[in-house]
Chain A
Amino acid sequence: MVTRSIKKKGIVSLFLMVLTVMVLGCSSEKSGNKGAASDGSTAKIGVVSYLTGAGAAYGESIRQGLELASDEVNAKGKVKLELIFEDSKGEKNEAINAVNKLIHKDNVLSLIGPTLSGEMFAVGPIVNQEGVPIMGTSLTVEGITEIGDYVFRNSLPDSAAIPQSVKKAKEKFNLKKVAIMYSDNNDLAVSGFKIFEKTLKEIGVEVIAVETFADKNTDFSAQLTKIATLNPDAIMVAGLYQEAALILKKAREIGITVPVVGNNGFNSPQLIKSAGNAADGAIVASPWFPGKDDAKVKSFIAAYKAKYKKEPDQFAAQAYDALQIMAIAIEKTGSVTDRQKLRDTLATVKDYSGVTGKFAFDEKRNPSMDVTVLVVKDGQFTELK
Chain B
Amino acid sequence: MFLQQLINGITLGSTYALIALGYTLIFGVLNIVNMAHGEIFMFGAFIGLILATKFNMSIFSALLGAMVAGAVLGYLMERLALRPLRRRKVSELAPLISTIGVSIFLESLALRLFGPQAQSFPSIYAAQLFEVGGLKISAVQIIILAISFGLMVALRFWLAKTRLGKSIRATAENIETANLLGVDTQKVIVLTVMLASALGGGAGVLVGLAFNAIEPTMGITMGFKGLAVLILGGLGNITGAMVGGLLLGIAEIFSVAYGVSSYRDAVAFGFIILLLFLRPQGIFGSKEQQGGR
Contacts and interface: CB of A to CB of B under 8 A. Distances in A.
B221 interface: yes
A222 B215 contact: no
A221 interface: yes
Contacts of A222: 5, 8-9, 252-254, 256-257, 261
Contact of A254 (B111, B136, B211, B252): B136
Contact of B117 (A213, A225, A254, A270): A270
Contacts of B215: 216, 242
A314 to B, nearest CB: 15
A223 to B, nearest CB: 6
A202 B129 CA distance: 40
A219 B111 contact: no
A212 B8 contact: no
A253 B127 contact: yes
Contact of A53 (B111, B213, B262): B111
A226 B1 contact: yes
Interface string B232-255: 000000000000000000001110
A290 B188 CA distance: 58
A55 B116 contact: yes
B256 A54 contact: no
A270 B119 CA distance: 10
Interface in B74-118: 108, 111, 115-118
Nearest to A230: B1
B116 A57 contact: yes
A223 B256 CA distance: 6
B177 to A, nearest CB: 28
A13 to B, nearest CB: 18
B31 interface: no
A225 B111 contact: no
Interface residues of A, number: 32
Contacts of B53: none
Contacts of B264: 212-214
Interface in A258-299: 270, 274, 276
Contacts, number: 86
B116 A225 contact: no
Interface string B1-39: 100110011011000000000000000000000000000
Interface string A200-215: 0000000000011110
A246 interface: yes
A174 interface: no
B231 interface: no
Interface in B174-213: 207, 211-213
Contacts of B9: 222
Contacts of A213: 261, 264
A255 B256 CA distance: 19
Nearest to B258: A226
Contacts of A245: 118
A56 interface: yes
Determine the interface band of chain B, counting residues with CB < 8 A from chain A: 35 or more
Nearest to A225: B4
A213 B261 CA distance: 7
A274 B1 CA distance: 28
Main secondary structure of the interface of B (DSSP, over half): helix
A229 B116 contact: no
- Which of B123, B127, B138, B264 has its CB near the most chain A CB atoms (within 10 A)? B264
B120 interface: yes
Interface string A223-251: 10110010000000000001001100100
Given A56-B111, A223-B256, A246 B213 contact: yes
Contact of A226 (B129, B221, B257, B265): B257
Contacts of A311: none
A255 B8 CA distance: 15
Contacts of A221: 8, 11-12, 253
A52 interface: yes
A222 B8 CA distance: 7
Interface string A43-61: 0000000001111110010
Contacts of A254: 136
Contact of B261 (A211, A249, A253, A270): A211
B259 to A, nearest CB: 10
Contacts of A216: 215, 217-218, 221
B12 A56 contact: no
A331 interface: no
B285 interface: no
A149 interface: no
Interface of A: 52-57, 60, 184, 211-214, 216-219, 221-223, 225-226, 229, 242, 245-246, 249, 253-255, 270, 274, 276
27 contacts: A53-B116, A54-B116, A56-B115, A57-B115, A57-B116, A60-B116, A211-B261, A212-B261, A213-B264, A218-B207, A218-B213, A218-B218, A219-B8, A219-B211, A221-B8, A221-B12, A222-B253, A222-B254, A222-B257, A223-B261, A226-B1, A226-B5, A242-B117, A245-B118, A253-B138, A274-B120, A274-B212
Interface of B: 1, 4-5, 8-9, 11-12, 108, 111, 115-120, 123, 127, 129, 136, 138, 207, 211-213, 215-218, 221, 252-254, 256-257, 261-262, 264-265
Given A242-B117, A242-B215, A274-B212, 15 more contacts: A54-B217, A55-B116, A184-B262, A214-B264, A216-B221, A218-B207, A219-B12, A221-B11, A222-B256, A225-B4, A246-B211, A270-B117, A274-B119, A274-B120, A274-B213
Closest 6 CB pairs of A and B: A218-B211, A222-B256, A221-B8, A212-B262, A56-B116, A222-B253
